[in-house]
């Protein structure tokens, strides 16, 4: 086989591989009724860590992948645990999980040290339901945004290394049953949240001494499942479910452009989609969304390509797509954890990164170089050697 032919076949194989990327679907845990209230964190190298609930047993569970197999374990089985989990990886690479302890009306924190879990209680007397969002500051401190019931308030708790301090962020119109916490590069907290009574999406910012809040979307429709990420300029991006009326929800997206909030409808292809909306940003600060198409009972993925929103169905087998969480790894691969309501299992979807258009140009350049070398090798020397 000539070098020319080898270069061409190599290039064709690479292009075929790039276009053939598909979502890889895996069942992580199928022991009983498991997988609701799932939350996922992914290391920069691409290792997924998932926290979730064993519903009939009221247990908090944890799953991770070692490169070939999934391992699952029970983290907390004392009473009724594991609702509204939120998992993050610490500076040491080990997982922390915040979750509701329904038995004692508290918020618990599970910390893994590499061999065992330690359970502590950062927030006491916080009964009821509502979101919990766990995050690390830039200096590695733990913080939790949470909904306080029956006070109907959005709260923020932070750990200073020895004790937890809790402050009230918002009190108007039953705020915070949906909330999402993120930190700026300077370590200041930001929270996206809903006002349930006012049907408004809000954004809270801490300046180092006090909280301020502003309205993102006040369309008069219930706003649920807020998911916040900050880009490299510390500008917020929020995915949320906007429901004009029962059963007619849309997936929406809001971002701050430096002077004003801009809101967009990401997907309106069905009569009710956007439930369990989750958002992550890739290395180009472009948003990716995972969410439920409730009309078709499918898991969907949407992303912004720089000019428009594109959508695709990730999993349509049965009744899937609840409790989604999406993350991107250091190589650009996408990971989604979600609940299969039909089979009552925890599931996971992975899509390997597809190179940017510049990569295609680089490959074309390599092909051209290979062809040029091939032509030079085939041409006889102008002055052949004489034996």
Smallest CA-to-CA distance from 348 within 34, 81, 77 is with 34
The per-residue pLDDT for 383 is 39
The per-residue pLDDT for 387 is 32
Percent of the chain, pLDDT > 90?
Answer: 78
User: What are the structure tokens assigned to 116, written together?
Assistant: 């065992």
User: What are the structure tokens assigned to 60, written together?
Assistant: 């908090």
User: 56-94: per-residue pLDDT in tens?
Assistant: 999 999 999 998 999 999 999 999 999 999 999 999 999
Percent of the chain, pLDDT > 70?
Answer: 86
Examine the pLDDT at 20 and tell me if it is beyond 90: no
Q: Are 321 and 336 in contact (CB under 8 A)?
A: no
The per-residue pLDDT for 129 is 82
The per-residue pLDDT for 2 is 53
Comparing 198 with 119, the larger pLDDT belongs to 119
Instruction: Provide the b/e sequence for 154-163 (b: ≥16 CB within 10 Å).
Output: bbbbbbeeee
User: 212-243: per-residue pLDDT in tens?
Assistant: 999 999 988 888 899 999 999 999 999 999 99
The per-residue pLDDT for 247 is 81
344: left (phi over 0), alpha (psi -120 to 50) or beta: left
Average pLDDT over residues 325-330: 97
What pTM, to 2 d.p., does this model score?
0.87
The partner residues of 202 in beta bridges, in order of sequence, read 193, 215
Average pLDDT over residues 299-304: 98
The per-residue pLDDT for 364 is 45
Per-residue pLDDT band for 341 (boundaries 50, 70, 90) equals very high
Comparing 363 with 49, the larger pLDDT belongs to 49
Which of 126-135, 292-301, 316-325, 327-336 has the weakest average pLDDT? Answer: 126-135
Per-residue pLDDT band for 248 (boundaries 50, 70, 90) equals confident
Q: So where are the chain's domains?
A: 1-21+364-377, 25-353
Average pLDDT over residues 265-271: 94
Per-residue pLDDT band for 163 (boundaries 50, 70, 90) equals very high
Q: What is the mean pLDDT of the chain?
A: 88
Distance CA 166, CA 313 (A): 41
- In angstroms, the Cα distances linking 271 to 119, 201, 233, 292, 320 are 42, 21, 35, 12, 17
The per-residue pLDDT for 322 is 97
CATH code of the region 25-353: 2.120.10.10
The per-residue pLDDT for 386 is 32
Average pLDDT over residues 373-379: 44
User: 106-150: per-residue pLDDT in tens?
Assistant: 999 999 999 999 999 999 998 878 899 999 998 899 999 999 998
Distance CA 171, CA 247 (A): 28
User: 348-368: per-residue pLDDT in tens?
Assistant: 999 998 655 444 344 445 444
- φ, ψ for residue 295, nearest 5 deg: -65, -45
Examine the pLDDT at 161 and tell me if it is beyond 80: yes
The per-residue pLDDT for 362 is 47
The per-residue pLDDT for 379 is 45
């Amino acid at each position: 086989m000539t070098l020319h032919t080898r270069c061409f076949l190599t290039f064709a194989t690479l292009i075929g591989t790039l276009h053939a990327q598909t979502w890889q679907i895996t069942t992580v845990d199928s022991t009983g009724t498991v997988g609701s209230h799932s939350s996922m964190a992914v290391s920069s190298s691409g290792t997924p860590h998932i926290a979730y609930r064993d519903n009939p047993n009221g247990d908090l569970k944890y799953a991770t992948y070692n490169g070939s197999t999934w391992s699952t374990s029970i983290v907390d089985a004392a009473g009724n645990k594991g609702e509204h989990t939120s998992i993050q990886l610490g500076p040491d690479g080990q997982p922390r999980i915040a979750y509701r302890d329904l038995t004692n009306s508290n918020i618990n924190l599970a910390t893994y040290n590499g061999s065992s879990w330690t359970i502590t209680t950062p927030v006491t007397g916080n009964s009821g339901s509502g979101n919990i969002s766990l995050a690390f500051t830039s200096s590695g401190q733990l913080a939790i945004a949470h909904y306080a019931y029956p006070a109907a308030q959005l709260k923020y708790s932070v750990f200073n290394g020895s004790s937890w301090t809790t402050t009230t962020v918002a009190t108007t119109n039953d705020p915070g049953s949906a909330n999402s916490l993120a930190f700026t590069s300077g370590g200041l907290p930001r929270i996206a949240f809903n006002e349930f009574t006012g049907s408004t999406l809000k954004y809270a910012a801490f300046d180092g001494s006090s909280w301020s809040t502003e309205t993102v979307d006040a369309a008069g429709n219930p706003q649920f499942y807020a998911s916040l990420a900050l880009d490299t300029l510390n500008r917020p991006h929020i995915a949320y479910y906007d429901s004009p009326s029962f059963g007619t929800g849309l997936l929406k997206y809001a971002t701050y452009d430096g002077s004003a909030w801009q809101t967009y409808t990401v997907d309106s292809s069905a009569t009710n989609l956007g439930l369990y909306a989750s958002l992550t940003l890739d290395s180009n600060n472009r948003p990716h969304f995972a969410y439920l198409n409730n009309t078709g009972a499918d898991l969907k993925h949407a992303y912004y390509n720089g000019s428009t929103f594109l959508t695709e169905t990730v999993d349509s087998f049965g009744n899937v797509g609840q409790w989604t969480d999406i993350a991107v790894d250091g190589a650009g691969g996408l990971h989604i954890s979600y609940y299969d309501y039909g089979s009552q299992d925890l599931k996971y979807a992975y899509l390997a990164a597809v190179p940017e258009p510049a990569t295609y140009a680089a490959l074309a350049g390599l092909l051209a170089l290979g062809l040029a070398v091939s032509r030079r090798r085939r041409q006889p020397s102008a002055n052949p050697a004489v034996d």
